[in-house]
Amino acid sequence: MTQPSANADVRGVVRLFNTAGGRVLCLAGEVDGAAVDSFLQRYGREPARVEGIDTGSVTSMSAPALDLVLDHLDAAELAGRPVTVRRSPLVERLLAGRTSADR
């Protein structure tokens, strides 16, 4: 019999990765409020300086997760920094037509 993993109840993740192309905010799976809270406890509430956001593996996104992505995009825009965004179809629909004025 196999042992359940310690992360068996984790359905979505939010992480910061250092890559050759710079820092990337990565969201994957069913990103709920608990995944966002875990990220905020680790990295703080200030948006990180990122060169990319990868949401290509997101299957479900809570309002706090969407706010986290938008906060990072807004911070980059205010600083005049381009950010590459890889979007899942779900995230594409959620971000379509949204601007910082919508928030």
The pLDDT of residue 12 is 95
The pLDDT of residue 5 is 45
pTM beyond 0.85: the answer is no
CB 36 within 8 A of CB 6: no
Q: How far apart are CA 24 and CA 20, in angstroms?
A: 10
CB 61 within 8 A of CB 89: no
**Which residues make beta-bridge pairs with 18?**
23
Going from the first residue of the chain to its last (103 residues), give the mean pLDDT of each consecutive group of 10, the final group possibly shorter.
49 95 96 96 95 95 95 95 92 75 45
- Nearest to 14, CA basis, from 34, 39, 48, 32: 39
